[in-house]
Amino acid sequence: MREVIMSRRPFSFSFLLFLFLSSFSLFFVFFSGAARAQDIKVLILDGQFNRVPAAGEKLRLLDDTAGKLLVGDRSYTGRIEVWRGEGGLYLIDSVDIEDYIRGVVKSETGSDWAMEALKAQAVISRTYAAYKLLHSPGMKYDLTSSVLDQVYGCDAPDGNVCKAVDETRGQILVYDGKPIEAFFHSTSCGETEDPYEVFGTHLPYLKPVKVNCGLSPYSEWDRQFSAGRLQAALKSGGIDTGPITGVRIKSHTCTGRVRDLLIEGKNGVFKLKATDARKLLGWRALPSTDFTLSFNDGFLDLEGRGYGHGVGLSQWSALQMARQGETYRQILAYFYPGARLEQWGAEIASAGQAQHAGQAQPAGLTHTARK
């Protein structure tokens, strides 16, 4: 059992909840304080809590109290909802939006990053949250704490992150008076991707732009998968190829990334979207769809570059731009042409809170991956 040292800070009432999971991992929750007016709801995906509730899954609310939650080596502060579903326990953290942005910026970047890159990340993370807050009707959460949306952890941010968030407080990107869908990713090399190729939608403020990935650890990479591993991954997604005898590229996107693969197996030839291949093999195992391949002697060898879906702001390119003297406003204007930087109006946050207030309890949850 991991030893956890608790804060001696006093709290308004004492309540300690021990959550024992099937693996006998131990988590502590100390509760104190009160909920705030403008919060965003985050489904915690961390360690033992690694499932998104299925559509229609029946959930029962076990607890709903303000305080601090420790999960493994991460802490989350806000109003914690503990739900039990058919697949186990689910935790939802209702947290102040600016506190949430601090946690995201620290998790998504590095503390030694240039200030203008941190500011750009703060704005797009806040914009993404604003968009999700307005587009999650009928759900008990707005987004997740993982790469399905944007990575979030509540451990105390450092001074640079706090400064970047504070100096952009309330700023979001809007188009036609509404928060944009501010997609971003780790690394693109050469050119970012058209959102239609990944998400099936055309967005006027998101077009492919030229980028440099020289600073990124994913400027180039190579991977090898055995035919057996590939077959097992496809089968987990409902594609029964039988023993795989060949893999080749069928088509490319407008930016040169792989769009479709052809998988040759004992049971036939199957077309597989490269984006689905990333999901089935694992986001880290297959960093991007920008690769070339060869299949020999039962092994698939890939040489690629980049990390993530490739849409919107490329974080490592934004860092390079900041180091070259570009301001966060210039960085945002480059990656989201046509979008305007405006102050997040109270009516937007209030509308999102009203959506949650009008929900019935409990309900099944749905989710759409974004990264």
At what angle are helices 115-134 and 315-323 packed, to 10 degrees? 140
Q: What pLDDT is stored for residue 5 in this prediction?
A: 30
Structure tokens at 350: 């209030």
Q: Are 52 and 365 in contact (CB under 8 A)?
A: yes
Domain 221-304 sits in CATH at 3.90.930
Nearest CA-CA partner of 17 in 8, 28, 9: 28
What pLDDT, on the 0 to 100 scale, is given for residue 115?
97
What single-letter DSSP state applies at residue 170? T
Q: What torsion, rounded to 10 degrees, do the Cα atoms 365, 77, 182, 121 define? A: -160
In whole angstroms, what separates CA 188 from the centre of its chain? 17
* Entry pTM: 0.81
User: How confident is the prediction along the chain (371 residues), in pLDDT tens digits per residue?
Assistant: 333 233 333 333 333 344 433 333 434 444 444 444 478 899 988 777 778 888 888 888 988 888 777 777 777 788 888 889 887 888 899 989 999 999 999 989 987 899 999 999 999 999 999 999 888 767 788 998 888 888 888 666 688 999 999 999 999 999 999 999 999 999 999 999 999 999 999 999 999 999 999 999 999 999 999 999 999 999 999 999 999 999 999 999 999 999 999 999 999 999 999 999 999 999 999 999 999 999 999 999 999 999 999 999 999 999 999 999 999 999 999 999 999 999 987 555 554 455 454 443 332 322 333 45
Which distant-in-sequence residues (6+ apart) come within 8 Å of 140 by Cβ? 41, 59, 81, 83, 92, 356, 359, 362, 363, 365
Give domain limits for the chain.
Answer: 16-180+339-357, 221-304
Q: Could you give the 3-state DSSP secondary structure of residue 105?
A: helix
